[in-house]
Amino acid sequence: MQEGVALNYTVRHPIGVVGCISPWNLPLYLFTWKIAPALAVGCCVVAKPSEITPATAFLLSELCMEAGLPAGVLNIVHGTGPGCGQAIVEHPGIKAISFTGGTATGRHLARTAAPMFKKLSLELGGKNPNLVFADCDLAAAVATSIRSSFANQGQICLCGSRIFIERPVYEAFKAEFLQQARGPKDRRPAGAGHQTRGLG
């Protein structure tokens, strides 16, 4: 081997059965986002959709059977978190857990799975603020904030639920944001329904 030259190898081996638990707000997107990589590396999957949005997962199971996926490779189970989800996390035969959902539930999953040395992937609640600075492109900042506030009715973990605005552009941003948020038919009073805060 030549001095100063190194080789790195990444070897991917299936680890066994993977438990995938997904939320209700993007029922097909997040469900398949978890399942596909696990299947691609050779793992079998036990997947639980949200009990609020079971139909998408059921239709996916029908498509997988129609496509010829062998029985037992993808197992979609329906039920509540405390019943079905807890059983997946606790089962000693499930070697990894992928969960998207609330922080409190993620904390509980971590407490359950950690003593069993399971691999964990936790994508937990966000709802971070948008930060708008005085040197911004105001039109772009408003457009981005409108999208991040209302895309999918705001039911995405990376949507902004608060906006912090630097004081020099506060009034201009607020006026334009509210005008776009109201839309042409909305006659709510200015300032209703959304919290903004000026930063000093």
191 has pLDDT over 60? no
For residues 178 and 194, the model is more confident at 178
- Please identify which of the residues 123, 166, 171, 176 carries the catalytic annotation: 123
Q: What is the mean pLDDT of residues 165-191?
A: 81
Which pTM does this prediction carry?
0.71
pLDDT at 127: 66
Sheet holding 119-124, edge to edge: 74-76, 44-48, 17-21, 94-101, 119-124
* E strand or H helix at 110: helix 103-113
Architecture of domain 17-124: 3-Layer(aba) Sandwich (3.40)
Average per-residue pLDDT in the chain? 88
Nearest one of 114, 46, 36 to 85, comparing CA atoms: 46
Residue 174 CB coordination number (10 Å): 19
Domains 17-124 and 129-199 share a fold: no
Handedness of CA 67, 68, 70, 76 (dihedral sign): positive
pLDDT at 128: 78
Tell me the C-alpha distance between 165 and 162, whole Å: 10
Q: Could you tell me the residue ranges of all domains in the chain? A: 17-124, 129-199
Q: What is the mean pLDDT of residues 54-59?
A: 95
User: To which CATH superfamily is domain 129-199 assigned?
Assistant: Aldehyde Dehydrogenase; Chain A, domain 2 (3.40.309.10)
Q: What is the mean pLDDT of residues 101-113?
A: 93
Q: For 11-47, b where at least 16 C-beta lie within 10 A, e where not — what string?
A: eeeeeebbbbbbbebbbeebbbebbeebbeeebbbbb
Which residues face 121 on adjacent strands?
A: 98
pLDDT at 192: 43
123 part of the active site: yes
Nearest one of 91, 116, 1, 99 to 50, comparing CA atoms: 99
- Provide the 8-state DSSP code for 91: -
Q: What is the mean pLDDT of residues 22-33?
A: 90
20 has pLDDT over 90? yes
Of the candidate ranges 64-73, 101-110, 182-191, the one whose mean pLDDT is the lowest: 182-191
Q: Which pLDDT band holds residue 188 (cuts at 50, 70, 90)?
A: very low
pLDDT at 161: 80
* Beta carbons within 8 Å of 12's beta carbon, 6+ residues apart: 41
193 has pLDDT over 50? no
Let me know the angle formed at the C-alpha of 69 by 74 and 27, rounded to the nearest 5 degrees.
Answer: 50
* pLDDT over 70 percentage in the chain: 90
- Provide the 8-state DSSP code for 153: G
pLDDT (tens digit per residue) in 139-170: 999 999 998 888 877 777 777 888 999 999 99
Tell me the C-alpha distance between 192 and 189, whole Å: 6
pLDDT at 129: 87
Joined together, the tokens standing for residue 9 give 């190898």
